[in-house]
Amino acid sequence: MKIINTIEELQTIRKELKGTIGFVPTMGALHEGHISLIKNARINNDIVIVSIFLNPTQFLPNEDLDKYPKKDAADKRICELCKVDYLFMPDVNSMYQSNDEISIKAPKITGFILEGEKRPGHFDGVLQVVLKLFNLVQPSNAYFGKKDAQQLSLISQMVKNLFLPINIVECDIIREADGLAMSSRNIYLSAEERKEALAISKSLNMTIIAVTKGERDAQTIKTKMKEIMSNLDVEYIAIVNRNFEEIQTIEVKNTIILIACKVGDTRLIDNMWI
């Protein structure tokens, strides 16, 4: 595995690469969720490139940029074990060259609901850095987890709207043995908070059981989910179709149920695709 730290080196290497390129963009602190993306890329591409870049433009002023977990040595080892070909680890000054850059704006509707409403400007930063990385890596396939469902939808829309020749590969959520969705922020949870957080996946699992038994009313399902998560600080429960339009009736194979909540001081998101 070769580690690349500069834009210029990546561009030089990229010109020489042949075959399909699988790309996994990350912010580091890699876990089994990231590993599943890398493994998918390894199986289906000639070359695998992973990036680790803690992107400041997607964090709001009061968020956890400064304390976001950094595990560079462990991340490098994980990438080596997963047989990554190139690991791109640029610094902030390389990725953002001025304070007056051309910016990318999230869509006016789907970019400003749910996570976009709770974290205004977040998706602008996400789309900006992903577009930069896409332009540098020029991947054949790019791998993203379904856990960040709204992000995944917006990146797919950006690829479509800007005519980028990239296939976006949606990858299933990877969970801990107890059901908690893998997240770099899980390390913030105390032992007691970790137990409390299990109400999130429990509420989502309940929706599968309810739908299997024939329940289709979105409000009924939301009410039951709130009961299960009554001890958590729930920011939102949303039931939408794949276009992120709110729906009142569950549509099998076209529904996403999303949750955002705080467990202690830690903000977690999770979802279920039905």
DSSP of 211-226, one letter per residue?
Answer: HHTT--BHHHHHHHHH
Determine whether the annotation assigns residue 175 to a binding site. Answer: no
State yes or no: is 122 an active-site residue: no
Mean pLDDT over each residue of the chain, to the nearest integer = 97
Tell me, what's the pLDDT at 62?
86
Tell me, what's the pLDDT at 99?
87
Note the pLDDT tens digit of each residue in 255-265.
Answer: 999 999 999 99
Determine whether the annotation assigns residue 184 to a binding site. Answer: yes
Determine whether the annotation assigns residue 28 to a binding site. Answer: yes
Note the pLDDT tens digit of each residue in 127-183.
Answer: 999 999 999 999 999 999 999 999 999 999 999 999 999 999 999 999 999 999 999
Dihedral over Cα of 13, 16, 18, 20: its sign: positive
Decide if pLDDT at 206 tops 90: yes
Note the pLDDT tens digit of each residue in 83-138.
Answer: 999 999 999 999 999 889 999 999 999 999 999 999 999 999 999 999 999 999 99
Name residue, tokens 């829309």.
157
Decide if pLDDT at 194 tops 90: yes
Q: How confident is the model at residue 269 (pLDDT cuts 50, 70, 90)?
A: very high
Determine whether the annotation assigns residue 145 to a binding site. Answer: yes
Q: Which helix (H) or strand (E) holds 105?
A: none
Mean pLDDT on 61-83: 94
Determine whether the annotation assigns residue 151 to a binding site. Answer: yes
Residue 15 token pair: 């010109």
Q: Which residues contact 78 (CB under 8 A, 6 or more apart)?
A: 30, 34, 35
Q: Which residues contact 256 (CB under 8 A, 6 or more apart)?
A: 149, 239, 240, 241, 242, 244, 271, 272, 273, 274
Side-chain half-sphere exposure of 122, counting CA atoms within 13 A: 21
Tell me, what's the pLDDT at 19?
98
pTM, two decimal places:
0.96
Determine whether the annotation assigns residue 185 to a binding site. Answer: yes
Number of H helices, E strands in the chain: 9, 9
The answer to whether 10 touches 136, Cβ cutoff 8 Å, is yes
Kindly list the structural domains of the chain, giving each domain's residue range(s) and its CATH number in brackets, ordered by start.
Answer: 2-171 (3.40.50.620), 184-273 (3.30.1300.10)
Distance CA 28, CA 26 (A): 5
Annotated active-site residue in 34, 76, 132, 267? 34
Distance CA 227, CA 101 (A): 46
Decide if pLDDT at 17 tops 90: yes
In the chain, what percentage of residues exceed pLDDT 90? 97
In the chain, what percentage of residues exceed pLDDT 70? 100
